[in-house]
C-alpha cells in the first residue's frame, strides 16, 4: 500500500481568501447561493451563524448607504445642471441688457452704466456659486417640495371633507322624492280605506242593533194589543 502524504491545512486568512475567490468565480459563471447554503459553507469553515448574520446585516447596510450616496450624487448632478442652465440663460439676458444699457449710456452721457452692470455681475456670481456648491439649493428645493406635498395633502383632505358635507346636505334626486311621495300617498289611501271600512262596519252594526230593538218593541206592542 502506498502511503498518502500529509493532509494540507489552511489558516483562517487563507480560508477567507479561498472562499472569496470561489464565490467570485461562481458569480462569474452566473450561479448564486442561497442564505442557507452560505450558512452551511460558513459552518464548515468554523464561522458561527451569529457572525454570519452580523456580516450580512453589515453588507445590507453598506449597500443601502451606497444607494443613498448614489441617489444623493444623482440629485446633486441634476441640481448642478439645472443651475448651470439658469446661469447660461441669465448670462445671455444680462449681456443683452448690458449692451443695451451701454449704448443708452453713450447717447445720454454720464457714468450710471457701471452700476446696473455691477448688480448683474453680483447676481451672476451668486448663481455661479450655486453651481459649484449645489447642496444648499438642493436642500431648499427639497423643503419646497415637501411643503408643497403637505399643502396638497391638506387641500385633498379639505376637498374630501367638503364632499362629505355636500353629500350630507344635498337634497335627494327628484325621482327618489317622487317615489317617496307616491309611497306616502298610497299608504295614506290605504289607511283612509281601512278607516272607512271600519266606520261602515260600526255603522252597519249600529243600524242592525237599532232595527232589532225596533222589531222587539213592535212585537211587544202587538202582544199587549192582543192581550186586551
Per-residue CA distances from 111 to 97, 116, 173 (Å): 16, 11, 76
User: Does residue 1 have a pLDDT over 50?
Assistant: no
When pLDDT is averaged across residues 130-149 and rounded to a whole number, the result is 83
Of residues 191 and 143, more confidence is placed in 143
In a domain, 207, yes or no: yes
pLDDT, average across residues 6-29:
68
Ramachandran category for residue 7: left, alpha or beta (phi over 0 → left; psi -120 to 50 → alpha) = beta
Say whether pLDDT at 224 is over 80: no
46 pLDDT more than 70:
no
2 confidence band (pLDDT: 50, 70, 90):
very low
The answer to the question of residue 120 being in a domain is no
CB 123 within 8 A of CB 95: no
55 near 41, Cβ under 8 Å? no
Residue for cell digits 232589532?
212
Per-residue pLDDT at 120 exceeds 70 = yes
pLDDT for res 26: 64
Q: Which domain holds residue 224?
A: 176-228
pLDDT at residue 203, as a whole number: 66
Dihedral sign from CA coordinates of 152, 154, 155, 156:
positive
SS3 at position 10? coil
Chain position carrying cell 450558512? 39
What is the average pLDDT across 183-196?
72
Burial of residue 130 (CB within 10 Å: 0-12, 13-18, 19+) is: buried
Q: Tell me if 195 is assigned to some domain.
A: yes
Kindly state whether residue 96 falls inside one of the protein's structural domains.
no
Q: CA torsion 125→126→132→136, rounded to 10°? A: 170
Does 46 fall in a domain? no
Q: Among the ranges 10-14, 20-24, 165-169, which has the highest mean pLDDT value?
A: 165-169
What is the distance between the alpha carbons of residues 128 and 48, in angstroms, rounded to a whole number?
55
Q: Is the pLDDT of residue 96 over 60?
A: yes
Residue 202 in any domain: the answer is: yes
Residue 207 has pLDDT above 70, yes or no: yes
pLDDT at position 137: 79
Tell me how many domains the chain contains. 1
Q: Residue 192 domain-assigned?
A: yes
Work out the mean pLDDT of the chain and round it to a whole number.
Answer: 77
In a domain, 95, yes or no: no
| Chain centroid offset of residue 77 CA | 28
Which band of pLDDT confidence, cut at 50, 70 and 90, is reported for residue 22? Answer: confident
Given a cut of 60, is residue 186 above it in pLDDT?
yes
Amino acid at each position: 500500500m502506498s502511503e498518502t502524504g500529509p493532509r494540507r491545512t489552511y489558516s483562517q486568512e487563507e480560508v477567507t481568501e479561498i472562499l472569496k475567490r470561489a464565490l467570485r468565480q461562481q458569480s462569474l459563471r452566473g450561479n448564486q447561493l442561497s442564505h442557507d447554503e452560505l450558512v452551511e459553507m460558513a459552518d464548515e469553515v468554523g464561522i458561527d451563524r451569529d457572525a454570519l448574520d452580523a456580516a450580512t446585516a453589515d453588507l445590507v447596510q453598506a449597500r443601502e448607504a451606497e444607494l443613498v450616496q448614489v441617489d444623493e450624487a444623482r440629485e446633486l448632478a441634476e441640481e448642478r445642471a439645472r443651475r448651470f442652465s439658469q446661469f447660461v440663460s441669465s448670462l445671455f439676458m444680462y449681456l443683452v441688457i448690458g449692451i443695451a444699457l451701454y449704448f443708452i449710456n453713450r447717447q445720454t452721457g454720464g457714468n450710471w452704466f457701471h452700476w446696473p452692470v455691477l448688480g448683474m455681475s453680483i447676481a451672476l456670481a451668486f448663481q455661479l456659486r450655486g453651481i459649484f456648491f449645489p447642496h444648499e439649493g438642493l436642500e431648499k428645493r427639497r423643503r419646497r417640495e415637501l411643503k408643497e406635498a403637505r399643502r396638497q395633502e391638506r387641500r385633498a383632505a379639505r376637498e374630501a371633507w367638503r364632499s362629505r358635507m355636500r353629500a350630507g346636505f344635498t337634497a335627494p334626486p327628484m325621482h327618489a322624492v317622487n317615489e317617496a311621495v307616491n309611497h306616502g300617498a298610497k299608504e295614506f289611501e290605504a289607511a283612509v280605506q281601512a278607516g272607512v271600512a271600519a266606520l261602515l262596519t260600526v255603522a252597519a252594526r249600529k243600524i242592525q242593533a237599532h232595527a232589532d230593538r225596533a222589531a222587539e218593541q213592535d212585537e211587544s206592542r202587538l202582544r199587549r194589543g192582543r192581550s186586551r
